[in-house]
Structure 1
């Protein structure tokens, strides 16, 4: 199974005039963003021969030409996405899923693996990090969507009202390419037909989870396709996913999701792991940062 990562640069350009946030991608500072990309990519390459990057021209310049990350193939098809609003950051991931023609697993750049994925995950028709159960924002946003959008994906009508179930797409993929073709086509249809109604959505950041994570789960349920989870039974407790090896005895997978990127302890542990596991690259990166080459 092919491993895929993606980077759409347009969502980061909204901070282009802010020195502190430029290229930080949600992290405390841009150096941690660069460290995260490096550690995530290096760890994937340690275990897998093929790791593809789907990006745009600016992303290739940053990750390949400047950071010199060892991706085996690079696709700059995200150049075609420039007409979309920069708030819709998950569209870059959806595009990466949509162009796959063989079994794949997409791994976010804030995910760090410490051993290969289980074969159950690698052979699953549909695989995700975990289910998200009981997150109130899904129901709240769907109320706004039902009240203001002109097109509602048919599978959304199959979920009961109240607390909704979605997936966490820290990792997402599978062998069922036909499903991914239909899922991504429906996600873009849903987004495209409702672009003029985005002003009615209270949080565009969380809206991304509707057309990526909630739609994935509801369509799989409607099609009766099983979803295999890397982790189960987590509920709302995600703090252990921020742990790096050595901080918890069972830490085998780290996902610095959301607020984890702005946690000083998480950032410190990220830097420590890159320095201890890949010292040559770490000191090369620090030199590039000091000399303003990045």
Structure 2
């Protein structure tokens, strides 16, 4: 089956356009990770784009698409906010079974045979709530045309939709009909584009219309996930610390792509596993007077050397300032998995508090100010247990000894319920601290 992706710039020609991400560079990193993961599992991964997309993704970043179609320039007459039109146009151009994968979707395995053989495919079924309902009620009064398939959408808050982080299938004729209907929906309301929130409008001519058309025509949709999520309550789709062992699919929809912690985790993964692509992107952001740094010259060998250096520094608890944040971030990739493996095998390990953060107190509230590589400080508010742990971790300590040390703070050290509860708290805290990049761990057995 052919995998396709689409990027339309919306007639925006600046590399620093954010496209819904918290910073523009993460948007381009998303494309780097998405296609590199896809080509691991599929022989045909094709890109449909416009001139600007071709210039950045192909000419500058040289991403490994097997074929590129520059066919989206004719959408430039539409407002950039109508971003879903590009995807829908690309669906209509297909003449063979396909799966379209959004540029903020990342996979660590092939899609199942059930999906590959299905007539229609989507990521998951979605239950609409007041979140979508309020969007619709702010748009619908202005519309001069509403497709019959979704005329009843506003009658109550609860409906079903389809998340189309991935979509496709074997029913090519359906996608052509759907695309025609979607463009008709948009075009017949052209006169009120300036009166409505076009960004929100995408939801209804893309996801809601797709689901309703399939339903009315009694066409089943095969979903990647059987779970039904509410439209604004997606969880776990940005958990980079769980790939590839616990999760093999991430989708940075909505707030995930605006969450700096999630974006930094993505960046670390790309630096470690796709260092050349990462450096190529960083060079595009260089000012003329800027100095070439280590982040501009990464490759597999450099990454291995930096990672090895940092592992030794953690074991010696002696850290060099040279490229500290870069080395820390590389070391952090996969560290949560290593931690879980220690726990599963009941092996003891050393916990080392890292430099790179300060404890700040204001109005009797203590927070961590954590330095981030190429980004602003990350702020984390401490609770009472955190404050004690920060003191205990001033000296490297084994995990088992750490739990024993924390048990000394219990009112009754012999109360087994309290002891077990403390162990669970420490287990969770260590996972948080690894995610925050304020500790390192290593086996000493």
TM-score, shorter chain, exceeding 0.5: yes
Partner Cα distance (2:32, 2:110) in 1: 17
| Pair 38,247 (structure 1): closer, same or farther in 2 beyond 3 Å | closer
SS, match of residue 144 in structure 2: coil
| Pair 129,248 (structure 1): closer, same or farther in 2 beyond 3 Å | same
The C-alpha deviation readout for 1:155-178, integer Å capped at 9, x for no partner, is 113658212211111111111001
1:26 maps to 2:28: no
C-alpha contact 2:123 2:224 (8 A) present in aligned 1: yes
* Cα distance, 1:245 vs structure 2: 4.6
Partner Cα distance (1:174, 1:217) in 2: 14
Match of 1:139 among 121, 126, 133: 133
C-alpha contact 2:16 2:25 (8 A) present in aligned 1: no
SS, match of residue 168 in structure 1: strand
Match of 1:184 among 161, 179, 194: 179
Matches within 5 A, 1:1-294: 1-10=1-10, 12=12, 16=14, 22-157=16-151, 161-162=155-156, 163-201=158-196, 203-236=197-230, 237-246=233-242, 250-290=246-286
TM-score (norm 2): 0.61
* Cα distance, 1:234 vs structure 2: 3.9
Partner Cα distance (2:276, 2:146) in 1: 51
Which consecutive residues of structure 1, in runs of 5 or more, have no partner in the other structure? none
Which consecutive residues of structure 2, in runs of 5 or more, have no partner in the other structure? 291-295, 297-445
SS, match of residue 40 in structure 1: helix
| Pair 12,288 (structure 1): closer, same or farther in 2 beyond 3 Å | closer
C-alpha contact 1:3 1:52 (8 A) present in aligned 2: yes
TM-score (norm 1): 0.90
Structure-1 residue corresponding to 2:321: none
Partner Cα distance (2:276, 2:78) in 1: 39
* Cα distance, 1:29 vs structure 2: 2.1
* Cα distance, 1:204 vs structure 2: 1.9
Return the index of the structure with the highest Cα Rg: 2
SS, match of residue 161 in structure 2: strand
C-alpha contact 1:159 1:218 (8 A) present in aligned 2: no
Partner Cα distance (1:159, 1:179) in 2: 21
Partner Cα distance (1:53, 1:74) in 2: 5
| Pair 179,282 (structure 1): closer, same or farther in 2 beyond 3 Å | same
Q: Displaced runs of 4+ in structure 1, greater than 4 A?
A: 291-294
Partner Cα distance (1:156, 1:27) in 2: 30
- CA RMSD, 1 decimal: 2.3
Partner Cα distance (2:136, 2:154) in 1: 11
Partner Cα distance (2:12, 2:129) in 1: 26
| Pair 29,145 (structure 1): closer, same or farther in 2 beyond 3 Å | closer
Single out whichever of 234-243 and 32-41 deviates more from structure 2: 234-243
SS, match of residue 239 in structure 1: coil
Single out whichever of 254-263 and 27-36 deviates more from structure 2: 27-36
